[in-house]
Structure 1
Amino acid sequence: MPDFIPVRLTGVGGYLPRDIVSNDDLAAKYGIETSDEWIRTRTGIAQRHIVSGDETTASMAAEAARQALDYAGVSASEVDSIIVATSTPDRVFPAVAVQVQAILGMTKGFGFDISAACSGFVYALATGSALIQSGQAKKVLVIGSEVFSRLLDWSDRGTCVLFGDGAGAVLLEAGGKQGEGILSTHLHSDGTTGDILYVDGAVGCPSTTQHLRMQGREVFRHAVVKLSQAVDEALEANGLTGEDIQWMVPHQANLRIIDGMAKKLALPAERVVVTVDRHANTSAASIPLALNEAVRDGRIRKGDLVLMEALGGGLTWGSALIRM
């Protein structure tokens, strides 16, 4: 067996579409029977970004990747692999990752997509880390990019008010000290719960709506239990307690879920990165977008211990611990 190779997170980046749509804008533009108060009190969301013009899953992913590379001081030619977590690819194939590879001008390495809904970034982070630890890559771009606005049924206010578009990226690199970088990742899924959060069809099912469908109360109930288990698993695997966590960067689905997890860890609000109020739920992009914001504004610093957690359709869920 090869020696354990530490995996550092050295770059962060993000992209949000140009168009900002407030809750009031949603009601007016799409004729939804809702209000700013109704959405805020149930979700914490005030606005979201929606793609327009030439913005696509691939173009947003490429811009977020460029920012992560610039932050790390690494050129695209040095990257060995690109992994994109997305449920909203521009094409069935080639993969978004391969499109990003072309946009960045990369002529070596390989790319592929991961579909794990809102947990996709945690899944991609675990995969990128494994590629480095196995010696197959030294530098891996891990990206979450979504255009959920194209999956929404704008007549269903229970779902259409929840989501936004965007992309976030990180660069992983081999090297560093033991106890730094990605400490552990923990992935789970349960296919028997797939009918509470799903997209109704795809290319192989042309007679379906291809809209997102969700049983909100059931998803909330599962989220509280499963995310708690994933967080406990991450802490136990590293011999830590909630008191050791300096920052939580959760999937940005619902402010009540985020607050519940913070209370479980006894984390004060100022130690939890929250973007759901401005970004809404950007699915696989939400964690890297939130991380990018908190790193760039100076909240998260080198050496800080960061917990990430997410749950999405599948159901899929997972957690990750990172020493920045």
Structure 2
Amino acid sequence: MQDVFITAAGGFLPGEPVSNDDMEEYLGFIHGKASRCGKMILRQNGIQSRHYALDKSGTPNYSNAEMASNAVQQTLNRSRISKANIDFLSAATTQGDMLVPGFASLVHHISGLPPMEIASFQSVCASGMMALKNAFLNVRAGEKRAAISCASEFSSRWFRPGFYEEYLDNSGQTDLSSDAEFLRWTLSDGAGALLLESDLKDDAELSLKLDWIDLCSYADRFDPCMYAGSSSNDIRQVQAWSSYSSPSEASAQGAIMLKQDFDLLYRMFPTWVGHYLSLVENGKITPDEVDYFLPHYSAHSLKQRMIKLLQQTGAMIPENKWFNNLAQIGNTGSASIYLMIEELFRSQSLSDGDRILCFVPESGQCIVSFMQLTAVRRERSK
């Protein structure tokens, strides 16, 4: 088995940063009215700015695959190898641009990469880690020489008024429920990509050795928590959007909206922390040896909940070691861990031997993932 290194990272954030005050100018006013609880949600999530792939008329400036392709291109621009050397692509997203074909096919086409093996991953936040683990194992096993793993989200298109108004008219409601409003004011657009190689170049200034990736689903214990495609998350009552008489009927019944079950979300936290403790107990994670902790979370309030539980376990990683960019770029879902790694890469703050622990929980139906990286810094050859 070969060692695997992240040798380059790239990101793409569409357009200029959008402030809290300007959000609805891009997302649109539902039935022409400002949100009644948007400001409260923003206080909870702590996000100050984000990026949208839409302009103020609601017209897309990029597709989801184009954003991923831009992140792939930036990664290659920062690497020491060409497109011709890449022989594997894995791509992740919550929802691709098309129902068919797979997301990786579209990214492959737009990126102009040569013929190669590809893999598409569709989940929520953890899909980015699924894609990365697939690329990691392919290189580690010697199946591939160099792999690109990318993740991209185009969440804002879910939040245009047309995704809600037909349902509100049909149900007689005047305002969205909190389970739909929260995501509308929290999720945003962006993409990230990482280059994985087994051959660490002598003149590489910084690489990240990928030590391991651990991912586990607990869907056997929970109903869907963050969901779309059904009006209910009760597995016993689920009617898929495609089984309605038409897409319009599915929309009118609320089966297209993206929603979050908050009660279920909070019940997942002990499961995520319990999985973390199991990794500590079996020696995979040593909290005192972590130099940078990159946790994904969707809101500042959820971060505080996470801190409280970790402090109770006695296995808390000090907050001064936490590295997160939620406040500046918003919640980019599956791309968030890529964009954190990319920013840490650019910061030039890493020292040889620094240990980086990444944490990506997913509320879709309870998935938890961890990844450990070790910084390898070398002096550039003369």
| TM above 0.5 | yes
Give, in whole Å, the separation in 1 of the partners of 2:147 and 2:300. 31
What's 1:316 paired with? Answer: 367
24 and 142 in structure 1: CA distance in 2 versus 1, 3 angstrom threshold: same
User: Which residue number corresponds to residue 168 of structure 1?
Assistant: 192
CA–CA separation in structure 2 for the residues paired with 1:147 and 1:35: 20
Q: 1:203 to 1:34 in 2, by over 3 A?
A: closer
Q: Rg: which structure is higher?
A: 2
The 3 A distance-change label for structure 1 pair 112 and 204 is: farther
RMSD, aligned α-carbons: 2.5
* 1:277 correspondence with 2:277: no
Match of 1:11 in 2: 8
Task: Report the alpha carbon displacement of residue 321 of structure 1 after superposing the two structures with TM.
Answer: 0.9
Question: 1:247, 1:272 within 8 Å by CA — same for their partners in 2?
Answer: yes
SS in 2 for 1:194: coil
Q: 1:255 to 1:128 in 2, by over 3 A?
A: same
Match of 2:51 in 1: 49
Deviations along 1:70-116, one digit per CA (max 9) or x if unpaired, are: 22222111111111111121112332222222223222212221012
Deviations 1:293-318 (A, max 9, x none): 12112234453211111122122221
Q: Residue 199 of structure 1 corresponds to which residue in structure 2?
A: 228
Whichever residue aligns with residue 119 of structure 2, its letter is F
1:290 counterpart SS class: helix
Aligned-pair CA distance for 1:214: 0.8
> Take 1:279 and 1:198, find their aligned partners in 2: how far apart are those partners?
23
Structure 2 gap ranges (5+): 55-59, 165-175, 202-207, 231-239, 376-382
CA distance in structure 2 between the aligned counterparts of 1:14 and 1:291, rounded to whole angstroms = 10
> 2:256 aligns to what SS in structure 1?
coil
The one-letter code matched in structure 2 to 1:48 is: R
Match of 1:183 in 2: 211
Contact kept, 8 Å, 2:42 with 2:186, in 1: the verdict is no
| Number of residue pairs the alignment of both structures matches | 317
CA–CA distance in structure 2, aligned partners of residues 46 and 23 of structure 1: 6
Structure 1 pair 65–314 and aligned structure 2 pair: CA distance change class (3 A): same
Seen in structure 2, the aligned counterparts of structure 1 residues 35 and 96 have a Cα distance that, compared at 3 Å, is: closer
Q: Does 1:291 align with 2:337?
A: no
Task: Tell me which moved more, 95-104 or 138-147.
Answer: 95-104
C-alpha deviation, 1:175, in angstroms: 4.0
Residue 54 of structure 1 deviates from its aligned partner by 2.9
* TM-score normalized by the length of structure 1: 0.88
Q: Decide whether the 8 Å contact of 2:229 with 2:241 is kept in 1.
A: no
TM-score computed with the length of structure 2 as normaliser: 0.75
Residue of structure 2 equivalent to 1:39: 41
Residue identity matched to 2:112: G
Instruction: Give the Cα separation in 1 of the matches to 2:192 and 2:150.
Output: 6
Q: Secondary structure of 1:108's partner? A: coil
1:252 Cα deviation after fit: 3.5
Q: Deviations over 1:15-51 (max 9, x none)?
A: 1110433222235643211354x23431111222111
Match of 1:22 among 15, 19, 38: 19
Tell me the equivalent position of 1:243: 288
Of 134, 140, 145, which aligns to 2:147? 140
Q: Can you give the 5+ residue segments of structure 1 that lack an aligned partner in the other structure?
A: none
SS at structure 2 position matched to 1:88? coil
Q: CA deviation at 1:63?
A: 0.9
Distance in 2, matches of 1:114 and 1:72, equals 24
Matched to 1:319, the amino acid is F
The alignment status of 1:306 with 2:356, answered yes or no, reads yes
Residue 95 in structure 1 maps to residue 96 in structure 2: no
